[in-house]
């Protein structure tokens, strides 16, 4: 039983759930592809015979699979609606834009978590993973900041139906490059490095590596020596701050773009 004030929020989860169900073959295809590419990356560590490298790559693969799935779901939500021809209908519905975007984000997080778990389980068939000693709890803290980024990116398809969807892919690519998913950001060329400071994923990864003990050699017993949550307060603070800025900023810009679209007639199906 859903309380009445939550029902509009639930409407978006309901819709996205059923859409995912109907497009399930695509979900399977994308997840399969993500799993295979994750495995090929993880096997680089296995080939090098370096357990810490393997775990670092696996962590990168899983975190990126989570964050990119969430980013994609949110930033593409408007494109989907435009594509289906339902954008005008959504914008005419008596729901606050915050509720709308929260509903979309809520499903995106749930979907990304499930997908990441599937990929993680899948990876076990390719590499032997031992997380003993790791502190797995702090790993998901980056999601809020990434949600904010997704919201900012969701605006682009409102601005321009085609170029907007293209631009979100560029943004995602840049995030993958600068966040140091599989390598320390220090190895990036000097002219790219400053950009990494603006990606929430950079801090999420840094924190996750510390929590899992991947930033230091393995213990004598060959297990990880994860740091306690207190060791990553800096990263958590930056992430919280980014979330606190990016989510309202995303909503605010979204509102501005919505007004612009209503002035210029860009909500129409054909744009």
Partner 1 sequence: MRTIEVHDLQKTFSSRQGWFGARKVERALDGVSFHVDEGETYALLGPNGSGKSTLIRILATLLLPDGGRVRVLGRPLPGGEAEVRRRIGRVSVDAAFYKKLSARENLLYAAQFYGIEPTAAGKKALGILERLGLEPRRFHDPLEEMSRGMQQKIAIARALLHDPPLLLLDESTTGLDPASKREVQRFLEELRAERGTTILLTTHDMDEAERLAARIGFLARGRLVAEGEADELKQEAGAADLEEAFIRRTGEGFAPAAAGEAV
Quick one: which H or E segment has residue 194? helix 193-196
- Answer yes or no: are the C-beta atoms of 60 and 182 closer than 8 Å: yes
**Is 189 one of the binding residues for ligand ATP (CB under 6 A)?**
no
Comparing CB distances to ligand ATP, the nearer of 85 and 173 is 85
CB atoms within 10 A of CB 191: 7
Q: Is 219 left (phi over 0), alpha (psi -120 to 50) or beta?
A: beta
**Is 49 one of the binding residues for ligand ATP (CB under 6 A)?**
no
Q: CB within 8 A of 66, min separation 6: which ones?
A: 112, 113, 115, 116, 140, 143
**Is 92 one of the binding residues for ligand ATP (CB under 6 A)?**
no
Stretch that binds partner 1, among 81-89, 128-136, 208-216, 229-237 (CB under 8 A): 81-89
Q: Which residue is nearest to ligand ATP (CB)?
A: 265
Q: Report in angstroms how near the CB of residue 95 gets to partner 1 at its nearest.
A: 6
**Is 25 one of the binding residues for partner 1 (CB under 8 A)?**
no
Cα Dmax for the chain: 66
* Binders of ligand ATP in range 206-265 (CB under 6 A): 265
Query: Exactly one of 33, 44, 84, 192 binds partner 1 (CB under 8 A); which one?
Result: 84
Q: Report in angstroms how near the CB of residue 81 gets to ligand ATP at its nearest.
A: 16
**Is 30 one of the binding residues for partner 1 (CB under 8 A)?**
no
Quick one: which H or E segment has residue 222? none
E strands present in the chain: none
| Residues within the interface to partner 1 (CB under 8 A) | 4-5, 7-8, 10-11, 14-15, 18-19, 22-23, 84-89, 91-96, 259, 262-265, 267, 269
């Amino acid at each position: 039983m859903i309380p009445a004030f939550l029902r509009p929020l639930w409407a978006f989860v309901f819709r996205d759930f059923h859409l995912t169900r109907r497009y399930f073959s695509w979900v399977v295809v994308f997840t399969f592809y993500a799993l295979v590419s994750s495995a090929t990356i993880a096997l680089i560590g296995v080939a090098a015979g370096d357990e810490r490298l393997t775990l670092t790559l696996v962590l990168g693969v899983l975190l990126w699979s989570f964050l990119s799935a969430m980013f994609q779901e949110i930033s593409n939500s408007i494109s989907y609606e435009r594509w289906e021809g339902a954008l005008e209908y959504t914008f005419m519905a008596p729901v606050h834009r915050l509720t709308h975007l929260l509903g979309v984000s809520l499903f995106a997080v749930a979907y990304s978590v499930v997908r990441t778990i599937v990929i993680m389980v899948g990876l076990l068939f390719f590499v032997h993973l031992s997380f003993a000693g790791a502190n797995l709890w702090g790993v998901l803290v980056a999601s809020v900041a990434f949600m904010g980024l997704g919201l900012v990116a969701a605006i682009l398809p409102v601005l321009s139906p085609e170029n907007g969807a293209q631009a979100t892919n560029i943004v995602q690519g840049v995030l993958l490059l600068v966040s140091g998913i599989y390598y320390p950001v220090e190895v990036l060329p000097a002219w790219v490095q400053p950009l990494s400071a603006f990606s929430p994923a950079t801090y999420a990864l840094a924190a996750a590596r510390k929590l899992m003990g991947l930033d230091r050699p393995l213990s004598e017993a060959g297990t990880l020596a994860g740091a306690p949550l207190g060791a990553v307060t800096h990263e958590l603070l930056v992430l919280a701050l980014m979330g606190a800025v990016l989510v309202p900023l995303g909503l605010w810009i979204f509102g501005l773009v919505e007004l612009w679209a209503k002035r210029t007639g860009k909500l129409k199906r054909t744009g």
